[in-house]
Amino acid sequence: MAFIPYSRQTIGEDDIRAVTKVLRSPFITQGPAIKEFESAIARYCGARYAVAFSNGTTALHAAYAAAGVGKGDEVVMPALTFAATGNAALYLGAKPVFADSDAETGNVDVRAVEKKITRRTKAIVGVDYAGAPADLTALRALARKQKLVFIEDGAQSLGARYKGRPVGMQADMTMFSFHPVKSITTGEGGVIVTNNKKYFELLMMFRTHGMTKDPKKLRDKKKAAWHQEMHVLGNNYRLTDIQAALGVSQMKKLDRFVAQRRAAAERYFSLLKTLPIALPQRSTLKSSAWHLFVVRVDPRTRDRVFTQLRGKGIGVQVHYLPVYLHPYYRSLGYKKGLCPRAETFAAGCISIPLFPNITPKEQAFVVRALTAILASKSL
């Protein structure tokens, strides 16, 4: 059996045609494919606006900035997430404040978030761990009550559903990532969806150096037609039309990709049910985007199980080391023991291969390997 990655993109001839079409057109960046892609995402989520970015991390940076996060502010977020969720606060001179997770789902515990709110808190961030929506209603209610901005890091959950509706309508701003392992890909890419016009305008400015050409916004009204002004310190965080064209083509297949991931997850549930491991929440079968299939083994054996699976050509991963345990965060003063449930969850977890085109044969191979490793006396 050839190497099986934990995730990978699904690219078809239709995607390749869409990209080459842009390459033959007048615009390969700042052209019409961007708007087309943004409209497709906004329509899918039922959101008023979508702003595309060069990747999910730059999109988060822009969203935190649009929320008004700045020097000395605090942003409350789950500990069990990718480092980028925290880094986006650091870029703005703000402090990431980590909240513990639910012991079973890996998603953030809303009561833990509430306890971390102080007078300095500006925003709370929810992460849809492994593609399963966080408790968005409770997070939103908490943000409203405390007059905070609610940002959703939905990097893993495009195509997921929450109370029967697509993820992307529940937070003030929601980010999706288009890295090759995510629901759809543009190579690198990200987006923020929002219903708020003020955030939309700030995001658009932040993406292009903090500049505007909008005559209604210019502070100096008498200038010539070439005039544009920089109002905030933005950056060049734009997606190219080459990538956006791939995104438009991929969006047409999003629901199919998620359905394929779900079918593969369902297959794992039945193949793995007798093994001495903790499985994801089966109740999320229909709602999750199934970005990852995370199993948990005894933390004392996890690294050996992991190494042996890799040795058999199975591309397992660990999602995640709690953010504050990274050496960089430790150098900022964060300490082990801050979020004990996230630490325990992280210590036992292994993401096994899951992507739209994984075959039943590949899944059976993974399960056979895992079964043999767990049964071996040398473990």
Residues that bind ligand PLP (CB under 6 A): 55-57, 81-82, 84-85, 127, 153, 155-156, 177, 179, 190
User: Rounded distance, CA 347 to CA 321, Å?
Assistant: 8
Q: What is the largest CA-CA distance in the chain?
A: 81
Annotated catalytic sites, by residue?
A: 182
Q: How many alpha carbons fall within 13 Å on the CB side of residue 175?
A: 29
Residue 84 or 265 having the CB closest to ligand PLP: 84
User: Rounded distance, CA 125 to CA 148, Å?
Assistant: 10
Q: Give the Å distances, CA to CA, from 370 to 54, 137, 307, 313.
A: 37, 37, 11, 12
Q: Could you tell me the smallest distance in angstroms from the CB atom of residue 168 to ligand PLP? A: 15
| DSSP run (H or E) holding 74 | strand 74-78
Looking at residue 152, what DSSP letter applies? E
Residue nearest ligand PLP, Cβ-based: 56
User: Rounded distance, CA 229 to CA 321, Å?
Assistant: 42
Tokens of 98: 């980590």
Residue 59 or 369 having the CB closest to ligand PLP: 59
By three-state DSSP, how is residue 159 classified? coil
Q: Could you tell me the smallest distance in angstroms from the CB atom of residue 121 to ligand PLP? A: 20
Angle at 163 between CA 162 and CA 167, to 5 degrees: 25
Residue 153 or 343 having the CB closest to ligand PLP: 153
Residue 126 or 356 having the CB closest to ligand PLP: 126
Residue 156 or 363 having the CB closest to ligand PLP: 156
Tokens of 254: 């999003």
Q: Could you tell me the smallest distance in angstroms from the CB atom of residue 182 to ligand PLP? A: 6
Q: Could you tell me the smallest distance in angstroms from the CB atom of residue 153 to ligand PLP? A: 5
Q: Could you tell me the smallest distance in angstroms from the CB atom of residue 201 to ligand PLP? A: 23
Q: Are 350 and 296 in contact (CB under 8 A)?
A: yes
Residue 105 or 308 having the CB closest to ligand PLP: 105
- Least Cα distance to 321 among 301, 303, 298, 333 occurs for 303
Angle between helices 360-375 and 254-272 (to 10 degrees): 30
Q: Could you tell me the smallest distance in angstroms from the CB atom of residue 88 to ligand PLP? A: 8
Residue with token string 């504050």: 324
Q: Are 353 and 316 in contact (CB under 8 A)?
A: yes
